[in-house]
Structure 1
Amino acid sequence: MNKKEKTHSLSQERAPIYEALEQFKKKRIVPFDVPGHKRGRGNPELTAFLGEQCVSLDVNSMKPLDNLCHPTSVIKEAESLAAQAFGAAQAFFMVNGTTSAVQGMVLTACKKGDKIILPRNVHRSVINALVLCGAEPVYVNPEIDKRLGISLGMSIKQVEKAILENPDAKAILVNNPTYYGICSDLRSIVKLAHKHHMLVLVDEAHGTHLSFEKSLPVSAMEAGADMSSVSMHKSGGSLTQSSFLLMGPSVNAGYARQIINLSQTTSGSYLLLSSLDLSRRNLALHGEQIFRKVIELAEYVRSEINKIGDYYAFSKELVNGDSIFDFDVTKLSVHTLDIGLAGIEVYDLLRDEYDIQIEFGDIGNILAYVSVGDRKRDVERLISALAEIRRRYRRDKSGLITQEYIDPEVLTTPQYAFYAEKESLPLREAAGRVCSEFVMCYPPGIPILAPGERITEEIIDYIEYAKEKGCSMTGPEDHNIERLNVIINYALE
């Protein structure tokens, strides 16, 4: 069960949406509503591919199945159970991905002109929300681990400095944990923010499991955060694109629902909703056992990789009590530069030569996502492949870029820059100008450039290097990323 004690009339053994769908199937209702495939009969090829059981449950909102935009029965019950499982006052089912949950948090907390304190190494969904609402970011640029080239968590001193310099800020947003497993001192940040009457929003996309195993870092809700976005599909077992938005007691849940309904679909997929319902039940009943096994598996793989030589699968030894307050040991992050290969090059070799698909590779590291679905023989195959890659492809590491993160120079708000008059310039000619679009490697989806930031020669070098190494680059209007959109007539000092 969750770390917090729960008292609620609903039982975690229930799965209200799943149960309602089971009852719906038994009634053999003749459909004269959407979707038009009519339980799969209208698209036999799709039905054969996905299976009749799946397609027959791709149904529309109706009274027995409730309505995601205004839940009053089974979805409402399922949301109450989710809130109970995660120690939250309110939970919202999100079927537009964690992107919509993150945007829901920011748009609930901030309006046009409001300030929000946040680290710059946020997912693009955060800055997208600033484009939409017109809030002004106050960046706390994270410290960098120079050996690994990765950005760390939020230092308490940096957060306090940002608060004192911006006492009118409405909220603080924290990545916890980061893609690499780095955790900030969330309890202290919450205490500090609340002292200054600011909300705390947590992008907990990679921390679903933190609520269910006591040896793991503290979860957002347990730390007293006001809102958190949780990717159930990442480590919680639900279908891709399904997530939770969790709320603490100080947030107006009715207003948050209105904000969510501005952008979330009115045709919520019952495949996604039922996957959230069943996955929540599984974690509530068996989460501690599940994630204890995941921890043991991840620790075993980490140990074996470190025995290979040159690779560095890092863990809790990085903890410094501040910018690395804790570490999520389920994250199998591996530094690769000492074998003379960028992380993205190892990523490509694993996929192309060994039929192993890991989560991502960047300039200096790879991340293999370890979960309840992994088997011992699968991780042994990964270990063997990494050993063979070192043997076959190891080379001198000179000339490799080591740093993943470059501090940006922010000149105007993301909203102004995104909607301003713009022109397209060749990449090199854009140096010194103000960018009006995003540039990022995906995954992890953290912008190298965001709207409103100065384009520097260092950033251009990084973009060209990432392209050369094979990183999947996204964001700009120019698909080949040979040109960038910049603001016209922006007065630079």
Structure 2
Amino acid sequence: MSENRTRFRLDQRRAPIYEALEQFRQMRVVPFDVPGHKRGRGNPELTAFLGQQCVGVDVNSMKPLDNLCHPVSVIREAEELAADAFGAAHAFLMVGGTTSSVQSMVLTVCKRGDEIILPRNVHRSVLNALVLCGAVPVYVNPEVDKRLGISLGMKREQVAKAIKEHPNAVAVLVNNPTYYGICSDLRAIVKMAHDAGMLCLADEAHGTHFYFGGGSLPVSAMAAGADMASVSMHKSGGSLTQSSLLLIGPNVHPGYVRQIINLTQTTSGSYLLMSSLDISRRNLALRGRQVFHQVADMAEYAREEINAVGGYYAFGKELCNGNSVFDFDTTKLSVHTLDIGLAGIEVYDILRDEYDIQIEFGDIGNILAYLSIGDRPQEIERLVSALAEIKRRYHTDGAGLLSQEYIDPVVAASPQEAFYAPKKSLPLRETEGMVCSEFVMCYPPGIPILAPGERITKEILNYIEYAKAKGCSMTGPEDPDILHLNVLA
């Protein structure tokens, strides 16, 4: 490749997939291929809903537009630009969400029987991957903040102990950050993993903006030396829902990763999703540092105003302790609600139903308002005012409210072994002491309360019933009403 060509490809003002689609649109090609709506003509209601501009570029892979399964032209250029923007050795455009990125990451490093060290408060996509490949989790159970009821990061000494006790583990996986914005000491964990001959993987579903923090936000996985990172561009990066990036460092073979991705990812990659990744990467590369500085400032202002209301606790960097909370993502607006006598999910419902404000999630004790590149100060003011009014109208005694979000699991079998084992369905309360063979979780955030292979305890059953009664959106089991659970026969 010539030096001029290299400079041309690394010009972050370019968006090669978007440019190729624009050129294709102007050519007025007659379509005798899929999709069958034929640029929207065959589905006028869909065209009216989404617009001709959108359905006109909902096209299939073809030579001028490259192929996601084996990119050689514009998609490859877009991946190289993404790798450059994020400081990675290679980047993969993912159209199956960050779930697909996380699963590809785990499947790349793990095979049946391998051990992988990870915190238990991972997204279900991590455990799904273990079901698929047969790897065995070695859990580093996180500490819990007693006041907030939330799980924290992994302590350095916990990781060191797990590595020492499981020297044949293939990798350490880290949340960077957690849903609540809490970060472990990623640089130290990367070094420990590498010193032991292991890889380090990062779930950065909620950390896209770390790559454009300019030192004011926690360290990104690639900057910390991690080997692979799953980056949810559609969350804080501005791309369309279900679009994501998988980043790798220099010690991982990109050709093998592509083969792993192609095991599960669609062969009909959406050009709407890919072009949104391309355009969003360009936007972040050119303006991300300035934009995320403003987002962090808005979040800090919101924290101050919400805490001034009283009763609520919008937590921030004061949680940092140098270890289990090594750093905090200041763009995360997480608010503890129990002191006004309401569960987080109750505040979530009131905000939506009575104030037309949709926040990211509410759980047993907290809410999360997700701030990113599209937020404006006037919306922050509206949220603060609504929370103040909710406190005035609904403040009550909080006696009897649960606070603990995280319960340490008792692992009795590997996720794959339990998922595929003979099973039986029992009424919820009759499952105490049994081994679960399916997932149970509140979504969002999608962190399992129970995963296949874990023993069901009275504490867990109390939590499930309480979360259901409070209105948490429960997912996972075969029984949609979660009146029964599948357990090992």
Show the counterpart of 2:397: 396
Amino acid at match of 2:46: L
Deviation at 1:7, TM superposition (A): 8.0
Distance in 2 between residues matched to 1:297 and 1:380, nearest whole Å: 10
Show the counterpart of 1:187: 187
Cα root mean square deviation, aligned:
0.9
Deviation at 1:26, TM superposition (A): 1.0
Q: Could you say what secondary structure the match of 2:42 adopts?
A: coil
- Write out aligned runs for 1:247-326 (5 A): 247-326=248-327
Show the counterpart of 2:145: 145
Deviation at 1:377, TM superposition (A): 1.4
Show the counterpart of 2:102: 102
Show the counterpart of 2:132: 132
Q: Could you say what secondary structure the match of 1:333 adopts?
A: strand
Distance in 2 between residues matched to 1:427 and 1:241, nearest whole Å: 33
Deviation at 1:372, TM superposition (A): 1.5
Q: Could you say what secondary structure the match of 2:45 adopts?
A: helix
Deviation at 1:9, TM superposition (A): 4.8
| 2:21 paired with 1:55 | no
Q: Is the 8 A contact 2:9 2:81 kept in 1?
A: no
> Cα deviation per residue 1:224-243 (whole Å; 9 max; x = unaligned)?
00000000000000000000
Show the counterpart of 2:476: 475
Q: Is the 8 A contact 1:57 1:270 kept in 2?
A: yes
Distance in 1 between residues matched to 2:397 and 2:66, nearest whole Å: 60
Q: TM-score, normalised by structure 2?
A: 0.98
- Write out aligned runs for 1:12-23 (5 A): 12-23=12-23
Deviation at 1:267, TM superposition (A): 0.3
Q: Could you say what secondary structure the match of 1:118 adopts?
A: strand
Distance in 1 between residues matched to 2:459 and 2:65, nearest whole Å: 54
Amino acid at match of 1:374: D
Structure 1 residues 26, 8: closer, same or farther in 2, change over 3 A?
A: closer
Show the counterpart of 1:155: 155
Deviation at 1:71, TM superposition (A): 0.2
Q: How many pairs align?
A: 483
| 2:172 paired with 1:211 | no
Show the counterpart of 1:491: none
Show the counterpart of 1:381: 382
Q: Is the 8 A contact 2:424 2:486 kept in 1?
A: yes
Structure 1 residues 213, 350: closer, same or farther in 2, change over 3 A?
A: same
Q: Is the 8 A contact 2:423 2:487 kept in 1?
A: yes
Show the counterpart of 1:446: 447
Amino acid at match of 1:112: R
> Cα deviation per residue 1:257-278 (whole Å; 9 max; x = unaligned)?
0000000000000000000000
Q: Is the 8 A contact 1:150 1:404 kept in 2?
A: yes
> Cα deviation per residue 1:178-207 (whole Å; 9 max; x = unaligned)?
000000000000001000000000000000
Q: Is the 8 A contact 1:8 1:84 kept in 2?
A: no
Distance in 2 between residues matched to 1:390 and 1:448, nearest whole Å: 29
Show the counterpart of 1:41: 41
Distance in 2 between residues matched to 1:7 and 1:52, nearest whole Å: 35
Q: TM-score, normalised by structure 1?
A: 0.97
Amino acid at match of 2:359: I
Q: Is the 8 A contact 1:418 1:436 kept in 2?
A: yes
Q: Could you say what secondary structure the match of 2:269 adopts?
A: coil
Sequence identity (%)? 77
Which has the higher mean CA deviation after the structures are superposed, 441-450 or 370-379? 370-379
Q: Is the 8 A contact 1:410 1:453 kept in 2?
A: yes
Distance in 2 between residues matched to 1:406 and 1:91, nearest whole Å: 35
Distance in 1 between residues matched to 2:356 and 2:272, nearest whole Å: 29
> Cα deviation per residue 1:300-324 (whole Å; 9 max; x = unaligned)?
1111000000100000000000000
Q: Is the 8 A contact 2:9 2:77 kept in 1?
A: no
> Cα deviation per residue 1:293-343 (whole Å; 9 max; x = unaligned)?
101111111110000001000000000000000000000000000000000
Distance in 1 between residues matched to 2:411 and 2:269, nearest whole Å: 37
Distance in 2 between residues matched to 1:7 and 1:87, nearest whole Å: 16
Structure 1 residues 167, 8: closer, same or farther in 2, change over 3 A?
A: farther
| 2:361 paired with 1:360 | yes
Distance in 2 between residues matched to 1:431 and 1:251, nearest whole Å: 43
Q: Could you say what secondary structure the match of 2:200 adopts?
A: strand
Structure 1 residues 8, 58: closer, same or farther in 2, change over 3 A?
A: closer
Q: Could you say what secondary structure the match of 1:387 adopts?
A: helix
> Cα deviation per residue 1:370-393 (whole Å; 9 max; x = unaligned)?
112111111111001000000000
Amino acid at match of 1:207: G
Q: Is the 8 A contact 1:312 1:335 kept in 2?
A: yes
Show the counterpart of 1:116: 116
Show the counterpart of 2:462: 461
Show the counterpart of 2:335: 334
Distance in 1 between residues matched to 2:176 and 2:373, nearest whole Å: 21
Show the counterpart of 2:486: 485
| 2:202 paired with 1:202 | yes
Distance in 1 between residues matched to 2:169 and 2:460, nearest whole Å: 29
Amino acid at match of 2:468: K
Show the counterpart of 1:174: 174
Distance in 2 between residues matched to 1:306 and 1:213, nearest whole Å: 25
Show the counterpart of 1:346: 347
Distance in 2 between residues matched to 1:350 and 1:314, nearest whole Å: 19
Distance in 2 between residues matched to 1:69 and 1:7, nearest whole Å: 25
Deviation at 1:10, TM superposition (A): 2.1
Distance in 1 between residues matched to 2:241 and 2:90, nearest whole Å: 22
Deviation at 1:8, TM superposition (A): 8.2
Distance in 2 between residues matched to 1:357 and 1:73, nearest whole Å: 40
> Cα deviation per residue 1:159-185 (whole Å; 9 max; x = unaligned)?
000000000000000001000000000
> Cα deviation per residue 1:92-150 (whole Å; 9 max; x = unaligned)?
00000000000000000100000000000000000000000000000000000000000
Distance in 2 between residues matched to 1:9 and 1:483, nearest whole Å: 55
Distance in 2 between residues matched to 1:168 and 1:297, nearest whole Å: 45
Structure 1 residues 101, 28: closer, same or farther in 2, change over 3 A?
A: same
Show the counterpart of 2:407: 406
Distance in 1 between residues matched to 2:208 and 2:279, nearest whole Å: 15
Amino acid at match of 2:330: V
Distance in 1 between residues matched to 2:137 and 2:235, nearest whole Å: 27
Amino acid at match of 2:415: P
Show the counterpart of 1:3: none
Q: Could you say what secondary structure the match of 1:481 adopts?
A: coil
Show the counterpart of 2:430: 429
